[in-house]
């Protein structure tokens, strides 16, 4: 993703490469896509939250995760409207809605209008750009 002053966390590509794996960098910073059915987060069902691998912002809640059968972790909505930003993606020659972390700009995936109630949305997210924090592992 191009560097932009609209993100509160900004780093050079060289800086991102020191904190992200090559696969994370390819998805988060170059708007790539991980292979379907490769993320262990597809099978994550504990109570908790999913955070951006780039900046640690909590983006997705387990309560909003559902089994879409697509091969990527899918959610009906982000934790809040403020944590995820969207833009139109024309890479496949037709418009899709791309989503990214509003704090650091890390590409997350795409949102589609074919999800379950109550939102009817399927936020199809690359697991490689998420870090899961189980509620049971939190102090206190």
Q: Which of 55, 99, 101, 124 is labelled catalytic?
A: 124
* 104 classed as catalytic: no
Strands (E), the chain: 48-52, 58-61, 65-66, 74-75, 84-89, 96-101, 107-112, 122-125, 130-134
Cα separations in angstroms, 63 against 78, 84, 96, 104, 118: 10, 17, 25, 24, 12
Q: Which of 51, 49, 65 is nearest to 106 (CA)?
A: 51
SS3 call for 22: helix
Enumerate the active-site residues: 124
């Amino acid at each position: 993703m191009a560097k932009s002053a609209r993100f509160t966390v900004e780093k050079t590509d060289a800086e991102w490469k020191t904190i992200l794996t090559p696969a994370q960098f390819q998805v988060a910073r170059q708007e790539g896509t991980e292979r379907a059915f490769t993320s262990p987060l597809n099978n994550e069902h504990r109570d908790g939250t999913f955070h951006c691998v780039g900046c640690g912002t909590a983006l997705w809640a387990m309560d909003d995760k559902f089994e879409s059968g697509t091969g990527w972790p899918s959610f009906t909505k982000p934790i809040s409207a403020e944590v995820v930003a969207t833009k139109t993606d024309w890479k496949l020659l037709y418009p899709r809605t791309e989503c990214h972390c509003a704090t650091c700009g890390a590409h997350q995936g795409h949102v589609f209008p074919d999800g379950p109630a109550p939102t009817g949305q399927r936020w199809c997210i690359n697991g490689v750009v998420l870090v899961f924090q189980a509620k049971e592992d939190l102090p206190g």
